[in-house]
Structure 1
């Protein structure tokens, strides 16, 4: 009977130690993934919206003219052409 009780205690200790290690690993993995996501977002930069087609593009790839963002030079030219008063 005493041997059975000792085995049960050892099993319980090993089970809780394994559970604690699993939780620590899972927390480390989630922290690591969130850190990688934050780094990739910083590399991509902020997203801006094209004034002509309303598509969001990374700020590094966008063009800025007269306080507006554009996804391409063609859209910039079309937007600025419409803004000019036609005589």
Structure 2
């Protein structure tokens, strides 16, 4: 009877120690993934200003035409339409 009780206590201790290690690993993994995502968001690149509305957008999302930056194709088209009569 004593031996059975000792085995049960050892099993319970090992189970809870394993559970604690698993939770620590899972928390470390989530923190690691969040840190990697944070670094990737910071690498957005240079910001450029739309020639039509003056809003800053990431260079990777902007359109470039005739040496000017634009936030959308609609703003590019409107800007170019207004520039033609002046020329």
Normalization by structure 1: what TM-score? 0.63
Unaligned 5+ segments in structure 2 are none
For 2:22 and 2:47, locate their aligned partners in 1 and report how far apart those are by CA, in whole Å: 37
**Aligned-partner SS, 2:59:** coil
Matched, 1:6 2:15: no
List runs of 5+ in structure 1 lacking aligned partners.
53-57
Q: What secondary structure, in the 3-state scheme, does the structure 1 residue paired with 2:26 have?
A: helix
Q: CA RMSD in A?
A: 3.5
Q: Could you tell me how far apart the structure 2 residues matched to 1:26 and 1:63 are? A: 42
Aligned to 2:78: 79
Task: Give the CA deviation at 1:45.
Answer: 4.9
Match of 2:20 in 1: 20
Q: What TM-score results when the alignment is normalised by the length of structure 2?
A: 0.63
Change (3 A) 1:71 1:10: same
Structure 1 runs (4+) deviating above 3 angstroms are: 45-48, 81-84
